[in-house]
Structure 1
Amino acid sequence: MGVVKESVVDRWKWSLDPVKGYSIGDAYQMFTATDQNPNRANMYTICHKQLPLKVSLFVWCLFHNCLPTKDNLLRRGIVHPDATNCVGGFALPETADHLFITCSHFSQLWVLVRSWLGFSSVDTFRAFDHVVQFGQLGGFPRSSHHFLKLIWFSCVWTIWKERNN
C-alpha cells in the first residue's frame, strides 16, 4: 500500500520540451510529424468536430491513464489506501478500465445503449479496446463508425460526470 504524502507538489511535465514546457506548436508537430506515429492514429480516433474539446481531452486522458481515478490519486499520494474503492459500491479498486467498462453499476449503461442500437456484444476489459470494438461493430456500415464512436465518447463522459456527482 502507498503512503499518503501530505506536502508533496504534484506537477505536470511536458516531455517534448521540459525547459520551456507545453506549446500547441510542439503538440501539433508531434501528432503530424509522420504517418508512422502511433499517437496520430489515436488523435484521429478521439478528435471529432462534433465533439467538445473538453470531451476529446478527457478521452485522451482516459486512454493514457491520467484521469484522477482513485488508483491514480493513490499513486500520487493524494488519497489514503483505504479510500480507493469504486464509487459503484462493490468494494473493488477504482481504475479507469474498471470504472468505465467492468463496474457492475456503470456497465449497465453499455447494456442500455446496445439495446437502444439493437445489437449485443461481449465487452472487453480495456477502455481503448472497448471503443475500437464498439466503433467498428459488425453489421453497421462503415459510414456509421464515427457516429458509434461519438456515442461511446458520450457514454464515458456521462459515466465520469455521474461518478463525480
Structure 2
Amino acid sequence: MFQNSVQKNGRIISFWSDLWIGDKPLMYSWPNLYENESVKNCAAADRLIASENSSVLTWNWSNSPFSDADAAKLHRLTDSIREVRLSELSDKWICTGSPDGSFSVGSLRKLLVEDNAAVHDNIMEWVKWVPANCSIFFWKALQNRIPTRAELIKRNIFINDPNYCFCGDYEESTDHVFSGCSVTSQVWQRFCSWARLPPLFAFDFKDVAEFHSGCNLNREEEGVIKGLIMIACWCIWRA
C-alpha cells in the first residue's frame, strides 16, 4: 500500500532496498550489481550527485573490474536513473492506495475490501480424498499466496536469481510455475494423454484449476480429475 518517493533529497531513501524507481527495489532488478556494492544500506543521496543537466552517479564497489556482462548492466542502470533530480525537500512515504498519495482510513478500508473480494473469487470446492497438505497448498496457490520467488521479492526478501529453476527463462510466479513453464507444459501434456483428456491449454493457474470443468465429464469424473490435478500441482511444487 505504501511506496517510497525519492523525488526529494534522497537522504532517507535506501538506494538499493527501497522502492523508489521502477516496479521493484534495485537490489532485485540488478542483483549482481547489488552483490558487488560495498555499502549495501547506502542512501540514494550517496549515489546520486546533482549536476547542471543531470545526476552524476558515484559508486563504491567491493570488486573491480567488472565482467563485460556486469558492465553492460551498470550502463543500463545508469541510463535508467540519470534523469532523476534531487531537491532540498525531505523524503516521504506516499500511499499508493490513495489518489492524492496521502494515507486515510477510507483508502485502507477500500484496499482491504478489494483484497477480501479477490479471496472470495477463489472459493474452492474441496476433494475429500485428496491429502490435506495438497488441498491446502492448492487453495493457497489459487490466492497467489505460495512463496514463489516473485512473491518473496515483493516482500523485500533478497533472491539471487528470480527465475524458475526448471526452465530458467522467466520469473518464478504462480502462473509461470503451473501454466507457463515449458517443463510443466510437458507434464500436463502427458497427464492428459494418460487420462484420455483433451489437451490442457492454460494461460494462468486459474485455467489449470478449472480444467476439469471443461472436459465434458460427469460430476464424479470431474472430482477425480480435479483431485489428480491438485496432487500433480503439489508434486510440481515439491520437485
Calculate the TM-score normalised by the size of structure 2.
0.48
Matched, 1:111 2:111: no
Q: Give me the whole-angstrom Cα distance separating, in 2, the residues matched to 1:76 and 1:40.
A: 24
Structure that is richer in strand per residue: 2
**Which of 206, 209, 219 is the matching residue for 1:128?**
206
Structure showing greater Rg:
2
Partner of 1:152: 229
Structure 1 residues 58 and 4: CA distance shift in structure 2, 3 A? farther
The change in CA–CA distance for 1:40 and 1:94 in structure 2 (over 3 A counts) is: closer
CA offset digits 1:118-162 (Å, max 9, x no partner): 132241211122221x21233422321111100110110110010
The answer on whether the counterparts of 1:71 and 1:84 sit within 8 Å (CA) in structure 2 is: yes
- Counterparts of 1:135 and 1:56, CA distance in 2: 16
Note if contact 1:69-1:95 (Cα within 8 Å) is conserved in structure 2: yes
Query: Aligned residue for 1:143?
Result: 220
Structure with greater proportional helix content:
1
Aligned CA-pair RMSD: 2.4
Q: Deviations over 1:27-55 (max 9, x none)?
A: xxxxxxxxxxx7397232xx222012221
Measure, in 1, the Cα distance between the counterparts of 2:181 and 2:168: 8
Match of 1:67 among 132, 138, 146: 146
Residue in structure 2 matched with residue 2 of structure 1 by the alignment = 25
The change in CA–CA distance for 1:60 and 1:97 in structure 2 (over 3 A counts) is same
- Consecutive unaligned residues of structure 1, counting only runs of 5 or more, are 7-37
Which residue of 164, 170, 175 maps to 1:92? 170
Question: 2 CA distance for matches of 1:41 and 1:99?
Answer: 18
Q: Aligned with 1:105: secondary structure? A: helix
* Preserved contact between residue 122 and residue 143 of structure 2 (Cα < 8 Å): no
Aligned to 2:120: 39
- Structure 1 residues 40 and 88 mapped into 2: Cα distance closer, same or farther (>3 Å)? closer
Percent of residue pairs bearing the same amino acid type = 25
- Inter-CA distance 43–142: structure 2 relative to 1 (3 Å threshold): closer
Out of 158, 161, 186, the position equivalent to 1:83 is 161
Equivalent residue letter for 2:202? T
CA distance in structure 2 between the partners assigned to 1:51 and 1:143 by the alignment: 14
Aligned to 1:23: none
Cα separation, partners in 2 of 1:40 and 1:75, compared to 1, 3 Å: closer
For the residues of structure 1 that align with 2:122 and 2:175, how far apart are their CA atoms? 21
CA gap 1:77/1:4 in 2 versus in 1, 3 angstroms: farther
Q: TM-score, normalised by structure 1?
A: 0.68
* Number of equivalenced pairs: 127
